[in-house]
Homo-oligomer: A and B are copies of this chain.
Amino acid sequence: MPTRTFIDAIRETLATEMRRDESIIVLGEDVGKKGGVFLATDGLWAEFGDERVIDTPLSESMIVGASIGAAVNGLRPVAEIQFADFIFPAFNQIVSEAARIRYRSNDGYGVPMTIRAPYGGGVHGALYHSQSVEAFFTHVPGLKVVVPSTPYDARGLLRSSIRDEDPVLFFEHKKMYRSVRGDVPDTDYVVPLGKAAITHPGSQVTVIAYGLMAHYALEAADRVGEDGISVEVVDLRTLRPLDTETVLESVRKTGKCLIVYEDNKFGGYGAEVAAIVAEEAFDYLDGPVTRIAGPEVPGVPYNHALEEWFMVSPEKIADGIRALAAY
């Protein structure tokens, strides 16, 4: 099975999907000739031309709003927001419009649109090129939110997202683009939305994570494994809809649950997971539902010392596992 980087898996999936379905267009800032600032769309413009690969003006609300309209009139837009940090000018179009048009029109209209955006810290991106923004969208009925962590899942989930009839936010951790590689079959497989994966089976502590943190969780599981702690890692993959079943099954088995996310803790995505586990697995819990997440500052600071301070790391996760295991 061919091995690919995370970003190659994404780029090739865009290309194969565009070959398969000519209603798919790609649009965003610098996605054309330049191929995107991370080169996630490199080569698409050369292959599909100006009409299907559109270098838009610098206006995110327009990118999303026009994608909604294009979707209503028969296209399947895949919009790129250059950095997840710059999705906020489009917040109204995503939350008020894309998420609601099906509900408010009683199924008259739907918006088959995918919004891709690189997110996450640890790359010296500072406050505005490092953010995790998923919590703002996972709260919103009508949206789906996907955060893949492997090239295999990136391809399978991107396919599912593009083929979905509803708006999907597809967040790609930019630190993984070139640092993560993995096997990716050339077949037309999909990974269904809404299904988590157990990436490391274990019996004593469940660690729930996604994106880059799913990797750090595996690293942490290996570390504490050396101390004889058996960890089950659940990689959520889709954040909305959440695969509650897989999460609860694991926690009911282990009795202990640690939730990891990179975003600042208060009101972050993991809060909902914690709340569900605390309610639905209460009788099975042998320790408090705990969380490891970013500190309460409004963005990842730039200086390397501060950035390191901010970021959740495998060590911090391992410490959290040890504390919970010892509870």
Contacts and interface: CB of A to CB of B under 8 A. Distances in A.
Interface of A: 85, 88-89, 91-92, 95-96, 99-100, 103-104, 127-128, 135-136, 138-142, 240, 242, 264, 266-272, 274-275, 277-280, 282-283, 285, 287-291, 296-299
Contacts of A128: 96
Contact of A127 (B104, B135, B299): B104
A282 B274 CA distance: 12
Max chain B CB contacts within 10 Å: which of A100, A104, A278?
Answer: A278
B138 A267 contact: yes
Given A92-B88, A289-B279, A139 B296 contact: no
A233 to B, nearest CB: 20
A268 to B, nearest CB: 6
Contacts of A269: 267
Identical subunits present: 2
Contact of A141 (B95, B280, B298): B298
Given A88-B95, A271-B271, 17 more contacts: A85-B96, A88-B91, A89-B91, A96-B128, A100-B127, A139-B267, A140-B298, A141-B296, A141-B298, A267-B271, A271-B272, A274-B274, A274-B275, A275-B289, A279-B288, A279-B290, A280-B288
A143 B38 CA distance: 32
Contacts of A288: 278-280, 282-283
A264 B89 CA distance: 23
A69 B296 CA distance: 25
19 contacts: A88-B96, A91-B91, A91-B92, A99-B298, A103-B127, A104-B127, A104-B298, A104-B299, A139-B268, A140-B267, A140-B298, A142-B298, A267-B272, A271-B272, A274-B274, A274-B278, A275-B278, A277-B278, A279-B289
Contacts of A275: 270-271, 274-275, 278, 289, 291
A108 to B, nearest CB: 14
Contacts of A271: 267, 271-272, 274-275
Contacts of A282: 285, 287-289
